Structure 1
Amino acid sequence: MASPLLRDRILLTDSGLETDLIFNEGVDLPDFAAFPLLAHAEGRQRLRAYFLRHIAVARRAGTGFVLEAPTWRANPDWAARLGYDEAALATANRNAVELLADLCEAFEGTEMLISGCVGPRGDGYRPDAVMTAEQAQSYHQPQVDTFAEAGVDMITAMTMTTVAEGLGIARAAARAGLPPVVSFTVETDGNLPDGTALAEAIAAVDADTPPAYFMINCAHPDHFAGQLNGEWTARVRGVRANASRRSHAELDEATELDAGDPAELADDYARLRELLPNLSVLGGCCGTDVRHVSAIAETL
């Protein structure tokens, strides 16, 4: 297991990559997929510039940084919609890690970890591709194995809507010899989109294949802060919250970005630290950008 994963030291990470590129930079991302940008020089430069902005915040703050691969949509179902076959998809996942490895080399003095980001098979807001844990492991194993061969430090199952898919990815990571991180998303009531309580979801995964830690992402702190009580909260080390208080359904229909208030979101993170004793991995999700991560770093 990569030792920095379980330290108390703060590790910043990036923000809402896809919403930042779409709404703030005017980049067209069909199916909300960033990985096709890796196929051409201009796209790679955009991704590099995006990560450089965030790394600069970590360097100013004196923190470590988790480089999350821009591969949230880089699984077979979504890739097929974008014209990628199995070989082209594997190349994209390898290229994502190569981009991040180059950044690590460029900033050798900053502690950085490369995470292979594995997104949901279906929609990130709805449990519309329900699988068993066994099916999820089989489905996601090729991407995880590609990441392992490319030399990532960890695997992050991001925006999980069901226990089974998060567990399946944790099993895939363990099989590949990599520490898994499982990040669940929740609705405005603090429960997973399929209705499972957050505490129940974490306990179920922990009972089978304990990750290095758990995260919560793609929800505003107001949506889940009320659920954060009990010993299980010690297992949540990371938060990548939305800037917006809107529900997933409302965000799906939105045509304009709701970036919220960076300072207000940073204050919300400070309150979360009182509820999550081991919270140390901090970044953003939909609607956030480097301004939000900078505010969080300054506040915490």
Structure 2
Amino acid sequence: MTWLEGKTIVMTGAGRGIGAATARLAASYGAHVVVNDRDAAEAEAVARAIGEAGGTAVSHPGDITDWAAARELVMRAVAEWGRLDGLFNNAGLFRMARIEELDEASVRAHLEVNVLGSFACAVHAARQMLAQGKGGAILNVSSGAQMGLPAMSAYGASKGAMASATYAWATELREAGIRVNALSPMAATRMMDEAERYLGAPVSSVPAEFNAPVACYLLSDAASGVTGQVVRIEGRVLSLAVHPGIALPTLEGEWDFETVADAFRTDLGRRQFPSGTVGMTVEIGGNASRTWD
């Protein structure tokens, strides 16, 4: 199959795990891949393996949190193949800590890598795609942790930020034909190794390769009608994450302490959304029913 034939795609954090699996699969579908990772040896190994398998790839190690380095990464694709068609914003940092265990360095690191780094790559990718005037695809990475998981507040907040950015960018870039989606993956990667160390129990045995077909689909022209979505893949389960919004019906009135208290006592209290990762049944037309799991 050649779903990505001739497409030039930058993939960050592609030295191993989901990024490496996606880079290999995309190349097998005909894409030209720029393999980015902070670890130069790992990036080079993936690019070399792609070449040995008959694909086309170059390695471009670097730190995406450096705004100028992110631009250089995007321009490497243009220098090699004359254009940029896709960005897989996959590089990320994951550490677990309950709120009382958090320190400034850990919180800042999550925001710098997962948010600032992803923004840097997406901004430069979008500018290049807009200049080309022929559309493109940006695929960010979110997480089920954005819905509220214990000991994942810093990570979840950073991935929630990327979900929000995905919705905004998809709206901004729609008329230019640039699609923006986010992947919410699950796999036995270094991140899951960290979770298992913290929890003292196995977390996931899903191979990284299970996520690659979804990522490649969202980067391909086959997904031309898909934008502004957070797509969840967890082993055999494929789903969409529900977008944030205002819960209907709303209440109208003159609000002081007593009327607010009464609103929660009679209406809003029983309509509260549970914290933690949940499932919601969404009917065609966007009407959400109160179904949780």
Q: What TM-score does the superposition give when structure 2 sets the normalisation length?
A: 0.37
Larger RCO (CA under 8 A, 6+ residues apart): 1
Name the TM-score, length of structure 1 as normaliser.
Answer: 0.36
Instruction: Please tell me whether Structure 1 or Structure 2 has the larger radius of gyration of its CA atoms.
Output: 2
